[in-house]
Structure 1
Amino acid sequence: MMQKKKVLSNIILIGLVSLFVDMSTEMVYPIIPLFLTASLGATPAIVGMIEGIAESIASLLKVFSGYIGDVYHNKKKLTFAGYSASVIYKLILLCASSWTGVLAARVVDRTGKGIRTAPRDALVAQSSEQGKLGGSFGLHKMLDMAGSSIGAFLAFLFVAKNMQYRTAFLWSIIPGVIGILLIPLVREERDTAQKNEKLSFRGLKLDNKLKLYLGVIFLFCLGNSSNTFLLLKAKSRGFTSSQVMLLYLIFNLSAAILAIPSGKLSDRFGRSAILVPGYLIYGLVYLGFALLTSKTGILLLFVAYGAYTAFISGAERAFIAEASPKEFKGTVLGLYGMLQGIGLLLSSAVAGVMWDKINSDAPFWFGGILGLLSAVAVAVILGYGRKAPKEAEI
């Protein structure tokens, strides 16, 4: 285990990488649905298909990159490669003249995410002090969402000042490059275990509670469509394009502010004490998007959606890392990401069809109901309010 100061500095470094790269990504992400629908003539169904295809490709890579990072102890190299794809993504966006070009760009971006996410999360887990895993993931998420907030604010400025979308794409490259240049400073612990030359998952012996939890995540993600639908919904409720950017900024700020407290609370009171309310908030937020029409109501829903993100992200990754075999934490975190991505593929495609064929409320009714069911299932599996035993040393 790293010394305390080195632990904290390593987690902060990983967080700063995420901050700059997410700043870069969020400078363009909330603009993408507007760019697709306003400039390229894409329908919500096409938007959903683009997000679904991109996320599904990324999801299939997460488990393999997590496993390779565990076995070959090259988590930092995989993290570097994955984050580098973020810059290539912006370059492709600059050249995109149709929705297929945006699809190609999103596939590159999500492929990078698929490569980097599990090894990066494993680095955070590896760098954490015993008993403070939730706080470590919370700190990382706070820096991650702080970068997203800055990026969302810059996206708002670009839209508010009527700058061309491609101008935002060009400027977004700068923070992405800064984030990538920080990665060599991150430390990775290496052990002397011999490499497994053959890719095999036979060593994964997951307990039944973790298996059930992963099953609930997949069920939940079937209704957890891309955030682009939240932005399109706000637009349909009468918000201007620049106001939509501000709503997205508010969501990111809410998540950033609550990330560390929620992670620390999960360390103190148990993961379920944070996860169950998190899924409950999600369900109510999605139902709110179907029911509420006032601008004040929509604003509050974006704040609450940030709270859901903060509650889930740190506590969930901490629980999965704790419940995973010591030598395969990255692999199981990758499996977790893969299930999320497959669910997002299906949910985004279904949401787009529901929006076009039924009405714009249908995807939110579906997601809200699945969110409430997931909250009940997590409470049953983990035992609501029951504090899990402390993790063995990572």
Structure 2
Amino acid sequence: MNKNIYSLALVSFFTDFASAMITPVLPIFIVYILNDGVDKLGVVIASATFVSYIFRILFGYLSDKYQIRKPFLIVGYLISAISKPLLAFSNTYQSVALLRSIERMGKATRSASKDYLISTYSKKNESGKTFGFHKMMDIAGELFGAITVFCIFYFYGSSEDILRNIFLLTIIPGIIGVFIVSFFVQDEHKKTENKKYQFEKKDFKLFPTLFFYFSFLFFMMGDSYFIIVAKEEGYAILFIPIFIIVLTLTQTLTSYYFGIISDKKGFNKVLFFAFLMGIFSMIAMKFSFIWIGFIFLGLFTVASLNAIRSYISINAINKASIYGVFYGGIAVFSSLGALSFGYIWQNFGQENALIFSLIGTVIIFILVLIKSKKEIFNNV
């Protein structure tokens, strides 16, 4: 693989290291330290998710139109590195939502350009393999971040001061990531002919598949809610990072494999499997099989992302723009889904929220099966 692929993977490793130090802490911080309800957690998730993904449309457009890549990477990673530690000074869910939105703006700034560079530096017919490797490094960073939080909880406890200090410590891996992207990632030197920005006809053919994926995400319960379910089932805060370790380890061990399978067998089969794992994850949580639920969630996350990103890489003409639309769809559907799930949980209970998600995901799964059964079961 191209050396820039390795450099970008290292940047993602350290950035996701910092992010994973926040993942097991933030839901606990909002619901049990700030004493806000699950619906307020939904507001934080929704606002951060919306900002993170909707602005990728803008930056995907700018990346394609002006062929600017590396500057977006540097600015995006720098915003994320600086904003994460500021969570240590938050005392309301509104301030948490604001800071998370700023941090996610950094991700929005860099994501389309990053995916474009990965696609550009990928060898022919190896996009799934390359994205699988990159995702593996993403998740490896998350794994080490979660292990770090577990060690802190184990040796120092999980008091409010400890949680706030964890937020502060994220500055270290974050700045390392900024340094690597600034000095070890090369921009794309080849410039294509500057033409009027537009979607090609082939690009529009990707939209139906993307819509099914977005709809599934609307009903899919996010990892923050998985954490709260585990806490409500009686698990101590010490064990929360272990669940994230299980989640990320599952993704680390399977990401590269799913990338190769996507290249060889087609993205439809991988996406079908991913949806099935998403449904199984929520069934497991409903019946209190917490460990199994996190494993299935990991399989859903890594398989679906590898399949969709490889699909776009192979079929899109204006790649960065389609990646922007992809992330924009996630913004709308995931944020509305998080708000809906949090509202139902807070007002009608955890059980009804899970049933809502299960019914929705099963319906989408059946529709995908009907639409793509020939592609899914061909040469199985």
Give the structure-2-normalised TM-score. Answer: 0.93
Q: Secondary structure at the match of 2:117?
A: helix
Structure 1 contact 269–386 (Cα < 8 Å) conserved: no
- In structure 1, the residue matched to 2:80 is 86
- In structure 2, the residue matched to 1:177 is 175
Structure 2 contact 40–342 (Cα < 8 Å) conserved: yes
Q: 2 CA distance for matches of 1:371 and 1:220?
A: 6
In the TM superposition, what whole-angstrom CA distance separates every residue of 1:26-67 from its partner, at most 9, and x where no partner exists? 111210111112221111000001110121122221111112
| Aligned equivalent of 1:244, options 236, 240, 244 | 240
Q: 2 CA distance for matches of 1:48 and 1:206?
A: 36
| Aligned equivalent of 2:367, options 333, 357, 377 | 377
Q: 1 CA distance for matches of 2:20 and 2:224?
A: 12
For 2:163, give the aligned amino acid: Y
- In structure 1, the residue matched to 2:22 is 28
Structure 1 contact 131–267 (Cα < 8 Å) conserved: yes
Judge which range, 83-92 or 258-267, deviates more: 83-92
| Aligned equivalent of 1:109, options 103, 111, 118 | 103
Q: Identity of paired residues, percent?
A: 24
In the TM superposition, what whole-angstrom CA distance separates every residue of 1:324-371 from its partner, at most 9, and x where no partner exists? 11xx10110111011011111101110111111111123322223333
The answer to whether structure 1 residue 271 and structure 2 residue 263 are counterparts is no
Q: 2 CA distance for matches of 1:35 and 1:145?
A: 23
Q: 2 CA distance for matches of 1:145 and 1:52?
A: 22
Uncovered stretches (5+) of structure 1, i.e. residues with no partner:
388-394
Q: Secondary structure at the match of 2:219?
A: coil
Alignment of 1:1-394 (within 5 A): 5=1, 7=2, 9-160=3-154, 161-162=156-157, 164-184=162-182, 185-195=184-194, 200=197, 202-206=198-202, 209-290=205-286, 292-293=287-288, 297-325=289-317, 328-382=318-372, 383-386=375-378
Structure 2 contact 44–97 (Cα < 8 Å) conserved: yes
For 1:121, give the aligned amino acid: D
The alpha-carbon deviation at position 225 of structure 1 amounts to 4.0
For 1:47, give the aligned amino acid: L
- In structure 2, the residue matched to 1:391 is none
Uncovered stretches (5+) of structure 2, i.e. residues with no partner:
none
Structure 2 contact 221–282 (Cα < 8 Å) conserved: no
Judge which range, 214-223 or 250-259, deviates more: 214-223
Instruction: Sort the Cα spacing of 1:91 and 1:207 in 2 relative to 1 into closer, same or farther, 3 A.
Output: closer
For 2:267, give the aligned amino acid: R
Root mean square deviation, CA, Å: 1.8
Instruction: Sort the Cα spacing of 1:208 and 1:97 in 2 relative to 1 into closer, same or farther, 3 A.
Output: closer
Judge which range, 67-76 or 254-263, deviates more: 67-76
- In structure 2, the residue matched to 1:390 is none
Q: Secondary structure at the match of 2:294?
A: helix
Structure 2 contact 281–295 (Cα < 8 Å) conserved: no
The alpha-carbon deviation at position 137 of structure 1 amounts to 0.5
Structure 2 contact 214–334 (Cα < 8 Å) conserved: no
The alpha-carbon deviation at position 149 of structure 1 amounts to 0.6
Instruction: Sort the Cα spacing of 1:309 and 1:67 in 2 relative to 1 into closer, same or farther, 3 A.
Output: same
Structure 1 contact 289–361 (Cα < 8 Å) conserved: no
In the TM superposition, what whole-angstrom CA distance separates every residue of 1:9-41 from its partner, at most 9, and x where no partner exists? 221211111100000111112101111122211
The alpha-carbon deviation at position 210 of structure 1 amounts to 1.2
In the TM superposition, what whole-angstrom CA distance separates every residue of 1:204-252 from its partner, at most 9, and x where no partner exists? 4345641211211221121124321010011111111111221111101
Judge which range, 139-148 or 281-290, deviates more: 281-290
